[in-house]
Structure 1
Amino acid sequence: MEDDMSMVLYVVGVLAVVVGVAVSIALHEVGHLLPAKRFGVRVTQYMVGFGPTVWSRRRGETEYGVKAVPLGGYIRMIGMFPPRRGTPAGMVSAGSSNPIASLVESARAESLEELRPGDEHRTFYSLKVWQKLVVMLGGPVMNLVLATVLLAVVAVGFGAVQTTTTIGTVSECIVPVGAPTGTGCSADDEPAPAAAAGIRPGDRVLSVDGVPATSWADVQTAIRAAAGQDLRLVVEREGQERTLVAEPSRTQIVAFDDAGQPVVQEDGSYATVEGGFLGVSPTQDLVRQPVTVVPGQVADAVVGTARVLFRLPQYMVGVADAAFGGGERDPEGPISVVGVGRFAGEIASFEDPSGLVGVEERAASILQVVAGLNIALFVFNLIPLLPLDGGHVAGALLEGVRKAWARARSLPDPGPVDVAKALPLAYAVALLLLGTSVVLIYADLVNPVRLVG
């Protein structure tokens, strides 16, 4: 019965991410669609997904629909590529015996074939430079906005997991630093000061030696500084305040840095210092954050994602070795949408004996996964290569530079940049991305990165 429930929760987690991916893609394309229509470009299609059309409906001059494979989407604008110089708008240039040139001209013809009389000024290539930038950046920016909203919901609505001033566990004896996990107490072991003082799990520390305990760091600092001295703690238990006196033992304890993180030595062990030991540990809970933390979270996520993309070739060597050679997956490396789905399934179905991971924690984690996916879409689409949005952005920026140079030199307007000439490279990039996706998906099926175990 428990296995059945676990499987149900796993499927729910996966479906939640599938819906999140579909919504993210749909909104990405809306980010392109709205400004394109606002600037007068005729948009003939708005599609979520690729492959055969599952459903579609025409409203006005645009066909809206859903396709069978929900791993992407697109809008179809007329005149994405300008006619070749010397060829009037709406006219298709003659073919070429050169296969690459023929490929370019074929794509150009397809881009112009939907032009109707009067559409000459409703094409994408006829837009001003700043309008092209708005249209092409609209999709990635929509993903960034969605990620920011999701992270804000998590931070402000759910909160971040933080230690509280409530006692989670009380040690029965003093266990030496570095002792194996699960080491029990024997009759010869010295009782832990907290147990001897009557401190219990669930007690909320209100003050230590008269100083209010606003965070667990306050409690921890006071304990460490009071080795061999009486420590007066005021705790709340079952709605009543109680005063307890404990004497922290002087022993070797784990050293922490200024950021509150354990100091790890070169051999992987924790550094130790002499200090007070009481034998208590805090509970963890979701603590709501101010909205001011969100910009920093978004910036950190963008920088982290950019670093992964920058090192993608290096990471893919490890992914290929893990997929085909049985090597270990780098938990910090890239994963496919399949891996993202597995993460969500594991989060939703994770069995937590302590009971600390509840519905809120799981929901917050899945929202963070979807937010991270949108950050990845934002950063990835800014790569200045066709067929990505960044390729068209780069073309528009180059056009702006050329026009500014021509104006400064009183030269004729050079016209739009012919991004169609970059199509051979675009097809090569598309094949490379397809191959990378296939390897990642295969690796996530046969040797996935796991959150648990």
Structure 2
Amino acid sequence: MIFVAILIGILILGILVFVHEAGHFIAAKIFGVKVEEFGFGFPPRIWGKRKGETTYSINAIPAGGFVNLLGEVGDQGPRSFAAKPSWIRALIVSAGVIVNLLLAVIIFTILLWFTSFKTNFNLIVDNKFPFGNQENFILIAKVDPGSPAEKAGIEPGDKIVLANGQRFDSIASFKEFIDSSLGNKITLKLDNVTTNEEKEVGVVPRVHPPAGQGSLGVVFAGRGLVATVSYRSLSEKVFSGFLHAGNMLQYQFVVIGSLVGRSIEEGTPEPVAEQVSGPIGIVALISVIVGAGGIAAIESLVTVIALLSLVLAVVNILPIPALDGGRLAFIVVEAITRRKVNPAIERAIHLVGFIVIIVLFLLVSYNDIIKIFG
């Protein structure tokens, strides 16, 4: 089962990269650039068939895909990539990013449709999302066996909507409320973020809890807060996929900024290293989700796929040599200066970028292995 889950994780990553490359392929075909080969996975080749002017192949390493265009560097005739106007080359280079963005938006739209255009974010850092209506709630991650919380029917994943009719958006204020209610019954209105089950329970906080436990017998998730973001108006619902993608991106940048800030403040890369994962870490996460099974796992898996597609788009559009954004930067420079960059210089810059990316990939992969296997 573990092997199957890992294989599914690898295939999902591979398919997302393949979809990205398919964007380049479709754009090249539309603008009349000759596509010499369009492959799923990376060589060695397992199967290949030539149809028209293009060879379609399936390769042994299912970690993505590739598109070989005629004349990617150097002019080789009117149907070569290099011979096309800069705006066409820019569209072809950007097409993979556009397809990944659209895939993420479509998935988010479908998911939000099934959840009444409402979703939850476990807040690692404080954040105000730019789109939709946001409400912060306290999230329960664990319930101690035999505790008042367990006896009352409180479960992991429950968020506290109301406590005796009051709303709490910080752990500190909720703990003050509990401390003032020891030995007295309180009523909690709960909503489970996994099952979307709503319930109301009565629970009596203990005056003398066992060592290591709290009065209720619950452990809060991370910072203890979950943000519920809902898209309410007709326009928000119609464009919910785009708005949600914007919220996801904004939150990722806020989290990264916070982690980098902590690393600088503490003088160690550990805060970033603990949270950042590469392909190995992502496959491990997907395998855990697949192994869990059930409807909730399917929803989580689809959400991860959409987020990965979104991240893949953003990373690829960064102006880093060897990535789509780096190639796009050269095209923009050419369009502004009306002069093509020397192909040899461009190749050398992309090679350096590729080497840097490989080194970073190896470092992140090593970090993933350490986190997984200790």
Check whether the contact 1:46–1:65 (CA below 8 A) recurs between aligned residues: yes
2: distance between equivalents of 1:304 and 1:34?
Answer: 31
2: distance between equivalents of 1:134 and 1:44?
Answer: 19
> Does the alignment pair 1:126 with 2:34?
no
Task: Provide the secondary structure at the position in 1 that maps to 2:317.
Answer: coil
Structure with greater Cα Rg: 1
Listed one character per residue, the Cα deviations across residues 277-316 of structure 1 (whole Å, up to 9, x for unaligned) are: 6244525234897554432320122234456778999999
- For residue 344 of structure 1, what is the aligned residue in structure 2? 286
- For residue 104 of structure 2, what is the aligned residue in structure 1? 147
- For residue 396 of structure 1, what is the aligned residue in structure 2? 331
Structure 1, unaligned runs of 5 or more: 1-7, 83-88, 90-114, 163-179, 186-191, 203-214, 226-254, 351-357, 404-413
- For residue 157 of structure 1, what is the aligned residue in structure 2? 114
Structure 1's 301 and 135: CA in aligned 2 closer, same or farther, altered over 3 A? same
1: distance between equivalents of 2:342 and 2:356?
Answer: 23
Residue identity matched to 2:59: K
- For residue 447 of structure 1, what is the aligned residue in structure 2? 371
- For residue 278 of structure 1, what is the aligned residue in structure 2? 186
> Does the alignment pair 1:37 with 2:29?
yes
Shift in Å, 1:12? 4.5
The correspondence for 2:43, drawn from 47, 51, 54, is: 51
- For residue 250 of structure 2, what is the aligned residue in structure 1? 303
- For residue 354 of structure 2, what is the aligned residue in structure 1? 430
1: distance between equivalents of 2:69 and 2:357?
Answer: 23
Task: Provide the secondary structure at the position in 1 that maps to 2:59.
Answer: strand
Structure 1's 201 and 388: CA in aligned 2 closer, same or farther, altered over 3 A? closer
1: distance between equivalents of 2:68 and 2:119?
Answer: 44
Residue identity matched to 1:401: I
- For residue 69 of structure 1, what is the aligned residue in structure 2? 61
Shift in Å, 1:224? 3.6
Structure 1's 396 and 264: CA in aligned 2 closer, same or farther, altered over 3 A? farther
Structure 1's 17 and 184: CA in aligned 2 closer, same or farther, altered over 3 A? closer
2: distance between equivalents of 1:146 and 1:442?
Answer: 30
Q: How does 1:153-302 map to 2 (within 5 A)?
A: 153-157=110-114, 181=144, 184=147, 217=161, 220=162, 223-224=164-165, 256=168, 261-264=169-172, 270=175, 272=177, 278-284=186-192, 285-286=195-196, 290=237, 292-302=239-249
Residue identity matched to 2:353: V
- For residue 19 of structure 1, what is the aligned residue in structure 2? 11
- For residue 371 of structure 1, what is the aligned residue in structure 2? 306
**CA RMSD for the aligned pairs?**
3.9
1: distance between equivalents of 2:115 and 2:165?
Answer: 32
Task: Provide the secondary structure at the position in 2 that maps to 1:448.
Answer: helix
Length-normalised TM-score, structure 1: 0.57
Shift in Å, 1:155? 2.1
Shift in Å, 1:347? 1.9
Task: Provide the secondary structure at the position in 2 that maps to 1:123.
Answer: coil
1: distance between equivalents of 2:60 and 2:259?
Answer: 29
> Does the alignment pair 1:137 with 2:72?
no
Structure 1's 328 and 310: CA in aligned 2 closer, same or farther, altered over 3 A? closer
Shift in Å, 1:328? 8.0
1: distance between equivalents of 2:345 and 2:105?
Answer: 36
Shift in Å, 1:73? 2.5
Length-normalised TM-score, structure 2: 0.68
1: distance between equivalents of 2:343 and 2:361?
Answer: 25
Shift in Å, 1:391? 1.4
Shift in Å, 1:34? 1.3
Task: Provide the secondary structure at the position in 2 that maps to 1:384.
Answer: coil
The correspondence for 1:81, drawn from 70, 73, 80, is: 73
Moved more, 147-156 or 288-297: 288-297
Check whether the contact 2:160–2:191 (CA below 8 A) recurs between aligned residues: no
Check whether the contact 1:224–1:277 (CA below 8 A) recurs between aligned residues: no
Check whether the contact 1:17–1:340 (CA below 8 A) recurs between aligned residues: yes
Shift in Å, 1:48? 2.4
1: distance between equivalents of 2:9 and 2:260?
Answer: 27
Shift in Å, 1:447? 1.7
Listed one character per residue, the Cα deviations across residues 351-385 of structure 1 (whole Å, up to 9, x for unaligned) are: xxxxxxx7111001011111121112101111212
Shift in Å, 1:137? 0.5
- For residue 214 of structure 2, what is the aligned residue in structure 1? none
Task: Provide the secondary structure at the position in 2 that maps to 1:58.
Answer: strand
Check whether the contact 2:46–2:58 (CA below 8 A) recurs between aligned residues: yes
Count of residue pairs the alignment pairs up: 301
